[in-house]
Structure 1
Amino acid sequence: MAKLTNLFEWGMTTVVDLFKEAEEAEGNQLEMVEMELKNGRTVAIALISGPYAHDMTQMMRDAKSRAG
C-alpha cells in the first residue's frame, strides 16, 4: 500500500485507489503519514487493512474515548 505514502503521486491518487490497493494487499498492512500544517498543527492519516484491521480500529477508538 504505497499510494498513501508516495507523496509524488498524491495529486493523482484517489480514495478509490487506496481501497483498490488495500483489496490487493496480502496479510496485514499499515501505512501512516504525519504532516505539520501551516498553522502549526499536525495531521496524521493511517490506512490499515488485513485480518487485524478491525482490532486495530477498535484500539484507536478506545484510545480516543480515554483521551476525552
Structure 2
Amino acid sequence: MLNKNKLKEEINSRRKKATYKNSQRFIAKKLGISESQLSNIFAGRRKASPEMMSKIEKILNQDLYKIGKN
C-alpha cells in the first residue's frame, strides 16, 4: 500500500511539474516579460521580434523534451 501511495505522489508531482513548465507564467518568467505580453503574442494581438519567437520556440522544445525524458 505504501508503494502505491508513493507512486501516486510521484505521478502527481510530475504532472504538476509538466503543467507548470508549459504554463504561460513559466515561459514569461524565463523570457523576462509579463504574462499578458506573452498572451498577446500567442493570440496574435502583438507581434514579437524574430529573436523573441526563437527564444519561445527554444524554451518550449527544450522543456517538453526534458519532461518526456524523465
TM-score, normalising length: structure 1:
0.29
Larger Rg: 2
More helix by share: 2
TM-score, normalising length: structure 2:
0.29
